[in-house]
Amino acid sequence: MSEKFTRREFLQSASVTLGALATAPAVKAFAAEAPKGNEKGLPSCDVLIVGSGGSGLRAAIAVRQNHPNLSVVVVNKGMPSRNATCMAEGGINGVIDFSKGDSHELHAFDTVKGGDYLGDQDAIENFAIKATEAIHELDHAGMPFNRASDDTVARRFAGGAKYERCNYAADKTGAIMMHTCLDQAISSGVKFLLDQYLLDISTDGDECEGVVLLDIKTGDVTPLLAKSVVIATGGYTRVFYNRTSVPFNASGDGIAAALRAGLAFKDPEMLQFHPTGVRNGGALITEAARGVGGKLLNNKGERFMSKYAAKMELAPRDIVARAIETEIREGRGFGEGMGAYVLLDVTFLGEERIMNELPQIRHVGELFENMDLVKEPIKIRPTAHYSMGGIETANFKDMSTTMPGLYAVGEAACVSIHGANRLGGNSLTDASVTGKIGGEGAGNYAANRAKFGSGKNADELAKKWRERLKEITSGSSNNANEMYALREEFGKQNWDNMGVFRTAEKLELLTKTLKEIQDKHANLKLANPNLTYNTALIDYLEFGNLILLARCACLGALNRKESRGSHTREDYPKRDDVNFLKHTLVKIKDGEFTVDYKDVVITKFKPVERKY
C-alpha cells in the first residue's frame, strides 16, 4: 500500500455500501466468488465483523489469510481508525526473550494471579503461548516498535509482571498497532462499511443469520446477512460517563445486542479502574510512566505506595487504584470531591527520555492540565478503563459463543483471560490473540456453511426498529438537553455507588436509581424526526445500551459478596473462594434479569492469597 494512501483513496477503494452488498457482481469484486445461498436478495457477505479496533481488524486479516475466497466486511460507526485501541498506550505483553528466565508459564501465572484467580486457566495458558506469536507477527508486519540495544523489540515492566515482557512503541503502542493492522486489512482485500450503527443481532432458529444496522448517513434500517458474525465492539466502561479513559463511542453496543439475542453477559461486575487518569475527565496516563520508575506522591510529599505493596507503583492496577483512593479518602490527597487527586512524578527521567518513551502523556498533560510533566508532577486519579466482563464465549480455541455462527473477540468477549483484574499490557495482546483466533473460527464456520439464514427474522427486526425510531424521534419539544443531563447523572451515580469501593447499601441504591434512569430514558422523545446524521439519536441509542449494561454490572456486584480484584466490597472485604470462585452469568428473559454462575477452570495454579 502506498505511503501516500489518502482518506479519499480509502473511501474509493476499501469502503463499500450496503447497496453494493446486495449485488452479487459487486461482492465478487472483493472475493474470488460471490456469496451463495442468499435467497431473499438482502445485503450479504460471508464474514461480517462489527467493530474496527485491534481485535476486529486482526479477525478480518485472519479470515482473508486463511480463506481468500471469502468476502469479509468490517462494520464501524465512523472511520475505522476511531476506536479504543488507539487510546492504549503502554505496550503489548508477550515473552520474546526466554534467556533470562521468563517463560509462557510465568506469563500465564502472572495473568492468573493478577486476575485474582477468577481467570480460566486453560484459556490463559493458551493466551500466553499465542502472545509470543502475536508480537512476532506484528513485528514482521512492519509495526515500528521501539528497539532494544540488540535491535530486538524493546520491552519494559508493566504492573504485576515478574519480567520485562511489555513490548512497546513509545507510549502510542495501541495506535501504532491498530494502523499496522488496518494497513494489513486493506492490503488483503477486507472491505469497510462505514457510518453504520449496530441495532441488533438476528437469528434463524438457533443460528446467527446476521445483524440489523442503522445507516447513520441516511437513517435507513437494513438487515445484513452473513454466514458468520464476529462481535468486536469493545467494552462498556463508558458507564462511568464522567470519568473514564475510553472514547465516547465505546458504548458496549455488541454486548447489549448479544444480551437481547439471549446470550449471557459474563462477569459484568468486573470493571477495571486504571490508577492514573488525569484529574479532569480521566484521560489515560499510561502505566508505562510507572514502568519506567514514575512515583506516586500524596500531599505530604510521601511516596505512599510503600504502605500498600512491596512492588510499590508496579503492583497490579486494582491495588494501586485502591491505594490512591484511600489516600484521598483519608485526607492525604489534594483538592476535593470529583476534583481530588494525587501526583505522579516522572520529572527525574529528563526531557530526552520522556520524548522518546512517553511523548503522548506529555501531550495529554499539556492538553488536560496545562502543565509539562518534564517540569512538574501531573495531577492524577483512578479512571474507569477496561471491562473484564463481556459476551460469554463457549470455546477459547475459536472464540465461538453459545449461538452457532456468532463469535466474540477482544474486550467485547469474556473468555475469561483477565479474571477479576487485567494486567497492564495484556489488553493489546488480548485484541491480537483473540482477534486472530476468532477470525480463524468465523472463517472456518462460513466456509463450511452452505447457505445464509432465511433473513425472515432480520426483516422483522428491521421493521420493529423502523417503528421504534419513528417513536423515539416524535417529540414535540427538544428533550436532547434533558437526555444529556440524565447521562451525566447516570455516570455520577455509577461512580459514586459502583466505583472503586462498593457496599450493599450503595449497590441497592444504584439498582433503584438505574431502573428510574432507564424509565426516564424510555420516555424521552427527541424532537428531530430527520434521521440523516441524527447524532442525538445515536447518543440516545448508545445511552440505552449503557444503562442496560450498568444494570447487569450492578446486579452482578450486589450478588458477589466478596472482594476480588477490581471488585472491592467494603462490607465483604475478603476473597471467598468457597462461594465465589465462579463466574457471574447475567441474562435477560422476558424482560427480567437472571443471575447464574459457572465454575472457574483451574489447571495448574491453585488459588492462594494474592501478595505483591
Residues that are catalytic: 317
Distance CA 80, CA 371 (A): 32
Which parts of 473-534 fold into alpha helices (H)? 480-498, 504-523
Distance CA 123, CA 310 (A): 29
Q: The C-alpha cell of 360 is what?
A: 503522548
Give the torsion sign (CA, 312, 313, 314, 316): positive
CA distances in angstroms from 230 to 63, 72, 471, listed in the order given: 11, 11, 30
DSSP 8-state secondary structure symbol assigned to residue 221? E
Distance (Å, whole) CA 582 – CA 119: 9
Q: How far is CA 242 from CA 23, 269, 486, 514, in A?
A: 44, 18, 12, 16
Cis peptide leading into 245, omega within 30 of 0?
Answer: no
Pairing of strands 265-266, 390-395: antiparallel
Rounded to 5 degrees, φ, ψ at 204 are -120, 100
Torsion of CA 326, 328, 333, 335, to 10 degrees: 170
User: What is the Cα–Cα distance from 289 to 45, expressed in whole angstroms?
Assistant: 44
Task: Count, in order, helices (H) and strands (E) of the chain.
Answer: 18, 20
What is the C-alpha separation between 491 and 368, in angstroms, rounded? 20
- Compute the C-alpha angle 488/213/533, nearest 5°: 60
Strands 72-75 and 44-50: parallel
Q: How far apart are CA 159 and CA 474, in angstroms?
A: 50
The 10 Å Cβ neighbour count of residue 468 is: 13
Query: Using omega within 30 degrees of 0 as the cis cutoff, is the peptide bond preceding 454 cis?
Result: no
Cα–Cα distance, 297 to 380 (Å, whole number): 10
Where do we find the cell 492462594?
608
Hey, how many other C-beta atoms are within 10 angstroms of the C-beta on 184? 22
Amino acid present at 286:
T
3-state helix, strand, coil in the chain (%, to 5): 40, 20, 40
Task: Report the C-alpha gap between 272 and 288 in whole angstroms.
Answer: 17
